[in-house]
Structure 1
Amino acid sequence: MIIIGIDPHKASLTAVAVDNSGETVGRRRFAVNSGTATQLRKWSHRWDERRFAVEGAKGLGRGIAQILLADAEHVVDVPSTLAMRVRVLDTGGGRKTDADDARAVALTALRHKGLHAVRYEDQSTILRLLSERRDDLVRERTRVLNRLHQLLRELIAGGVPTGLNAAQAAAALRRVRPLTATDTCRRDLARELLTDLRRMDSNIKGNEAQMRDAVAATTTTLPQVHGISTVLTAKLLGHVGDISRFPSADHFASYTGTSPLAASSGEIVRHRLNTGGNRQLNSVLHTVAVCQSRDPGLGRIYYEKKIAQGKTPTEARRALKRRLANVIYRHIIRDNLHAPVTAT
């Protein structure tokens, strides 16, 4: 069996083939263009038994990984951090070239049996794209709103209240009577920002409508969990992707960064806060935990139980986040078991 490791970049990709003993049997660099896939096929077909390993198959390597998958090739996704460790251990130093990286990717796939196979993009990919687009729109809206708030504060004595929206900003601008050319410029800029704000609001509303349709197509039961809205459902499903890559709820919790890390030494047994994991999922779980700890329900009961045990409010919310990770994992597993089978 030949393992072909691929180190992708925007303008090129480097492929290195290794045999079962880890010896390099082939190496080639390809320019990224319309003929890249064809050239890679011709080069790799010299080996009848082959597997591909792509670094970052959900990032820069997404395109070539999906093309190889469409060609019925077996493709695994190699995390860049794991490949980096293999490269350092294999070379014994900090030497780094594209060929070294591609070889490390191949060696990782050869030695590590727990890598995830690349799958076709599905509804979860759509949800992730829509979720990331909403995050971009919200950040841009916040920037525009802050700038508009600053201009209105300079135009109106005492400024305007916080929590400004487009309607309130428009009403405030109608009352502005500039006395100088500078204030006239500020008013004109504020009007432009108001137009941008309305466009952002419209785009966010349209994005959320797309998100509702995409979530409805999944028939997920996550919205039944108190505190999980359509927006949070889309982010959860989009970032989780294929739930089968997590063999247990504990693995899922570790991925979300909600399980504490063991930090014991000698006779001292202790744990510390996990600051790793997928921070987007961690943020969603934090939002749901805050909501459930505030409102009546099972989450509030569990939160108060932890408070009664001597936990601080922050520690109690972290414990609730860990419990919610289990709940979400079970929901997604159950949804997948009952999902209708569609013809492909």
Structure 2
Amino acid sequence: MVTVGIDAHKNTHTLVAVNENGKRIGEITVDARPKGHEALLSWLRDLDDVTVAVEDCRHLTRRLEADLLIAGHRVVRVHTRLMAGMRRGARERGKSDPIDAEAVARVALREDNLPTAVLAGPSRDIKLFSDHRKLLVEQRTGLQAKLRWFLHELDPELCVPSRGMRRFCVLESLATELAEKPGAVAEIARDMLSDILALTHRINAIERQLSAIVRVEYPALLQVPGMGVLGAAMIVGETAGVTRFRNKDCFARFNGTAPIPVWSSNKVRVRLSRGGNRRINTCLHMAAVTQLRLGDEGAAYFAKQIDAGKTRTEAFRLLRRRISDRAFAALRADAQLHANEPTMTVVAITLTPKRATGVQAQAAA
């Protein structure tokens, strides 16, 4: 058996092959271009029973991983801290591309249950759309905050509803108010209003695309009480494949809902985990809040914990962990449902507005 470690960079990839004892038996450096990938695959064909390990830097290795997977190789990912620890314990001193690649290979030879790379599927599309939507919402929020100050300067009595600048009727009303006002402040405000309108159309279009993908690919996750399309999309994108978690406890540790033990002697105590993926944790928190507001099974579970002597904070944390377990089971069910289906999903975002508005007409004029 041969294990090949890859140290990936923007312009070059360095490969080092080691045998089952960890001894280096081969080395090659290729360009990080299609021709270099062809040379790399040709070099791997001369090796028997190959496992390829790459440092987990997916912004650099995604194209390489795809070529390796299409060629039929098994690819595992090695976390940077594991590779760094192996390098420090090596006999060869220093840091170079071959040293790093050899460290990656030896970690893959030593460690079991490393994450396995797969071809990109719907989950990556969902993450890309979700992250892009988040960026657009942040841009819109910054413009809305600045516009409110300009509106206050132009007319202190002009009332804009809270969160109203995401509604087309409010934007049209503001456009009418600003249409006849002279001066630089009013002109900048009209430009900001036009930008907010354009961003809102794009955000709504992305939300429609996310809804279309999530409802088809992850129906079980949407059945979790309190879980909406945007929350489900964020969980799917950040999870990056539920099969890499052995059980619900590993998933809970990943998202920060598993408590951390802080006890000695015979008195068992735990504290809140401040780590984990905070975006998934936020989605689980909002699902818990929604369950309490709707008064369904989540509210009954919360009341049961209060009756058992838990504080409201402890009961809420237990509810959030319960939703984490439900989400994990739903993700497993959805993964099993689509196990035999094609993994590639192509989705095009249509940014054409559904209807023309007064703001658009004024912007065109």
Q: Per the shorter chain, which TM-score range?
A: 0.7 to 0.9
Checking the alignment, whether the CA contact within 8 Å between 1:152 and 1:160 is kept in structure 2 is no
Matches within 5 A, 1:64-143: 64-90=64-90, 95-143=94-142
CA distance change for structure 1 residues 52 and 303 in 2, over 3 Å: closer, same or farther?
same
Question: For 1:98-135, what per-residue CA distance to the aligned partner results, in whole angstroms no more than 9, with x for missing partners?
Answer: 33332221111110011122112222222222212221
Kindly indicate whether residue 65 of structure 2 is the aligned counterpart of residue 55 of structure 1.
no
Residues 258-284 of structure 1: CA deviation (Å, up to 9, x unaligned): 101223345553322222222221121
Tell me the CA shift for residue 159 of structure 1: 6.4
Flag the 1:146–1:21 CA change in 2: closer, same or farther, 3 A.
same
**TM-score, length basis structure 2:** 0.83
Helix, strand or coil at the partner of 1:157: coil
- Which digits, 9 at most, give the CA deviation of each residue in 1:26-53, with x for residues without a partner? 3333332232211212333332332110
In 2: Cα distance, 1:83 partner to 1:56 partner: 10
Task: For 2:178 and 2:242, locate their aligned partners in 1 and report how far apart those are by CA, in whole Å.
Answer: 55
Deviation at 1:215, TM superposition (A): 1.5
Residue aligning to 2:245: 246
Q: Percent identity?
A: 31
Moved more, 246-255 or 167-176: 167-176
User: Is the CA contact (8 Å cut-off) linking 2:218 and 2:331 kept in structure 1?
Assistant: no
CA distance in 2, matches of 1:99, 1:315: 50
3-state secondary structure, aligned to 1:311: coil
Deviation at 1:292, TM superposition (A): 1.2
Match of 1:165 in 2: 165
Distance apart, 1:160 and its partner CA: 4.5
Asked whether the equivalents of residues 3 and 50 of structure 2 are also in contact (C-alpha less than 8 Å), the reply is yes
TM-score (norm 1): 0.88
Q: Quick one: distance in 1 between partners of 2:29 and 2:36? A: 10
5+ unaligned residues in a row in structure 2: which ranges? Answer: 344-365
Q: CA deviation at 1:322?
A: 0.7
Letter of the structure 1 residue corresponding to residue 87 of structure 2 = R
Tell me the alpha carbon deviations over residues 36-87 of structure 1, each in whole angstroms, 9 at most, x when there is no partner: 2112123333323321101126442211111100000111122223323333
- 2:175–2:193: 8 Å Cα contact kept in structure 1? no
Aligned partner letter, 1:168: V
**Could you tell me whether the CA contact under 8 Å between 2:127 and 2:237 is conserved in 1?**
yes
In the alignment, is residue 20 of structure 1 matched against residue 17 of structure 2? Answer: no
Confirm or deny that 1:34 pairs with 2:34.
yes
> In the superposition, relative to structure 1, how do residues 90 and 324 fare at CA in structure 2: closer, same or farther (>3 Å)?
farther
Q: Give me the whole-angstrom Cα distance separating, in 1, the residues matched to 2:236 and 2:199.
A: 25
Find the aligned partners of 2:241 and 2:133 in 1 and give their Cα distance.
22
Q: Is the 8 A contact 2:254 2:276 kept in 1?
A: yes
Task: Tell me if structure 2 keeps the 8 A contact 1:252–1:329.
Answer: yes
1:186-335 aligned within 5 A: 186-218=185-217, 220-266=219-265, 269-335=268-334
Q: Which amino acid aligns with 2:300?
A: I
Deviates more, 1:235-244 or 1:108-117: 235-244
Relative to 1, partners in 2 of residues 1:341 and 1:168: Cα closer, same or farther, differing over 3 Å?
A: same
Number of equivalent positions: 340
Residues 57, 78 of structure 1: 8 Å contact kept: no
SS of the residue corresponding to residue 295 of structure 2 reads coil
CA RMSD of aligned residues (A): 2.7
Contact 2:256 2:274 in 1 (8 A): yes
CA distance in 1, matches of 2:288, 2:336: 26
Specify the code of the residue in structure 1 equivalent to 2:3: I
Shift of 1:177: 9.1
Q: Could you tell me which residue of structure 1 aligns to residue 11 of structure 2?
A: 11
Give yes or no for contact 1:178–1:184 (8 Å, CA) kept in 2. no
Deviation at 1:20, TM superposition (A): 1.7
Specify the code of the residue in structure 1 equivalent to 2:217: T
Question: Given the alignment of the two structures, is residue 149 of structure 1 paired with residue 151 of structure 2, yes or no?
Answer: no
In structure 2, distance between residues paired with 1:338 and 1:34? 35
Q: Whose RCO is larger (CA < 8 A, sep 6+)?
A: 2
State the alpha-carbon separation in 1 of the partners of residues 3 and 95 from structure 2.
20
SS in 2 for 1:118: coil
Distance 2:92 2:292 in 1: 50
Report Cα offsets for 1:152-204 as digits up to 9, x if no partner: 2232225654424164355345445999xxx8222211111111111110001
Query: How far, CA to CA, are the matches of 1:315 and 1:85 in structure 2?
Result: 38
